[in-house]
Structure 1
Amino acid sequence: MNEPSGSSTSPIRSQLKSNLGFKIGEIVIIFFAALTLIYSLLPLAGENLVFQQAIVWTANIVMLCLVWISLNIRGEHWSDFGINFGTFSAKQAGTVFLKSLLVFVLAMIAFALGSVIMAPITGIPESADMSNYAYIQDNFPLFLLTLFGVYIVSSFGEEVIYRAFLINRISEMGFSEKWKNRIAVILSAIIFGLIHYEWGPMGMVQTGFMGLVLGYFYLHYDRKIWILVLAHAYMDTILMVQMYLAG
């Protein structure tokens, strides 16, 4: 693997690969930057739902950029996360599609299981707060534009951040060989659930369970991220169609 030139990054690169504090700091910086951006700009959006959603999307894009920067500092590439942009044969594409359907079904079952577990605690399943997407109701052009953005920021972006990035980085933190991947999947799922705090306690548990399934299959399918991206896209499509028809 060819490492980027520039001796100035070498000490940081070495620390990121060997120092636990630097590894934790790498994760904290990426999430802190996104949260700071969101909570600094959201008050400026007022009641403008489009502006509010644009801020959240921008924060996710900033996180992707920071992940890319950290990869470069480490002398790594997107392919180290299982993100390959090459062409697929028809057979490979068909295999990816079928596996993505399996992941989608099992992730939805896990999501429903979260409802079953939380119902005795929170009562009848509460509706997730999806008011930020109310602007697409009965507006087909905005629906298509939003769906395209969701595919990039959520379907692709969240799988890169919460599966590829988090699982790979957490697994490098010195846990035993036997437990490191399990711990990484569990912690990434917990974080994935927590970032859906606007969906309430049940929503966080539901998405956390869904994250467990997605994280498991990320490792089970040898980090082939496109399988998860497609599975996530199916879920996002269903959600966006429901929001569009809600009007």
Structure 2
Amino acid sequence: MTSDNDNEPKSELRIKWPPFMDLMILIAVLVVVKQALIPVTLLYAGPISTTSAMIVGTVLLKRRGMGWRDLGFRKPEGWMRTAGLGVLVFVAIIATSGTAGYVADLLFEDVGTSGRFDHVEGDIAAYATVMLMVWTHAAIFEEALFRAFVINRVLATLGGGRAAEVFAVLFSATFFGYRHYYYQGMNGALTTGAIGLVLGLLYLWFGRRNIWPLVLGHGVINTIGMTARFLGVRGD
């Protein structure tokens, strides 16, 4: 015997190819540009790749009748609330970094940043240059690309839904961790991947309408780290 449900059409996962192609193009730019530049400049390989990806991402979004505003780069409804959420993001990064860092130390050697920022200590010009990178490449570009673009394009590819959200955040976090492997090793990749996971969840929690808290939290935490390096407080 068969039930009425047996005759109902089965739901299938249908990949939407336009957003999938957008995602693959952006990832290709991020990977190829960075890998090509690592032998030339360890310091600027990442920033140049994210800058290139921002340009390509802007073109891809425009082709779809969209812009970065649609992904959360819009004027917040209230800057005080945004600042408060930025504090929440900052605390979340600190907590995740400490917890994931502890686990990573048990599993992998901590190579720090492989001397990538050693030149910053005591050098005001180098510090100013790196701070520019902090608030462009790290705070704005990484949040725009790894949270806003990647998560939204994955969701569009899979058609949305809770399962798609879970996959989108996990994919974004994994790729974010991979992006830091080249100078932080597996220890840093695991830690930054965990941070990326939390930031992705917060992005969804904020409704994908306001990414500025992530930018603020990310920028402040990196500012503190680079300022500490400049002052010689830490030297990894």
Secondary structure, aligned partner of 2:66: coil
Q: TM-score, normalised by structure 2?
A: 0.84
Q: Aligned residue pairs: how many?
A: 218
Residue 56 of structure 1 aligns with an amino acid whose one-letter code is G
Cα separation, 2, equivalents of 1:141 and 1:196: 24
For residues 190-228 of structure 1, the C-alpha deviation after alignment (integer angstroms, 9 at most, x for no partner) is: 111111102111211111111111111111112210010
Tell me how far 1:68 sits from its aligned partner: 0.4
Residue 214 of structure 2 aligns with an amino acid whose one-letter code is L
Structure 1: give runs of 5+ residues left out of the alignment. 1-17, 46-50
Residues 130-169 of structure 1: matches in 2 within 5 Å? 130-169=114-153
Secondary structure, aligned partner of 1:99: helix
Tell me how far 1:39 sits from its aligned partner: 3.0
Residue aligning to 2:229: 243
More moved, 130-139 vs 210-219: 130-139
Cα separation, 1, equivalents of 2:185 and 2:19: 30
1:82 to 66, 72, 79: 72
Tell me how far 1:130 sits from its aligned partner: 4.7
Q: RMSD over aligned Cα, in angstroms?
A: 2.1
Tell me how far 1:54 sits from its aligned partner: 3.1
Of Structure 1 and Structure 2, the greater helix share is in: 1
Residue aligning to 2:53: 63
Q: TM-score, normalised by structure 1?
A: 0.80
Residue aligning to 1:170: 154
Residues 45-64 of structure 1: matches in 2 within 5 Å? 45=40, 52-64=42-54
CA contact under 8 A between 1:114 and 1:202: conserved in structure 2?
A: no
Residues 1-247 of structure 1: matches in 2 within 5 Å? 20-43=16-39, 45=40, 52-84=42-74, 86=75, 92-122=78-108, 126-174=110-158, 177-197=161-181, 198-223=183-208, 224-246=210-232
Cα separation, 1, equivalents of 2:151 and 2:105: 29
CA contact under 8 A between 2:35 and 2:45: conserved in structure 1?
A: no
Secondary structure, aligned partner of 1:179: helix
- Greater RCO (Cα-Cα under 8 Å, separation 6 or more): 2
Residue 218 of structure 1 aligns with an amino acid whose one-letter code is Y
Secondary structure, aligned partner of 1:53: coil
Structure 2: give runs of 5+ residues left out of the alignment. 1-13
Tell me how far 1:22 sits from its aligned partner: 4.2
Q: Residues 170 and 238 of structure 1: is their aligned pair in 2 closer, same or farther, counting only changes over 3 Å?
A: same
CA contact under 8 A between 2:151 and 2:168: conserved in structure 1?
A: yes
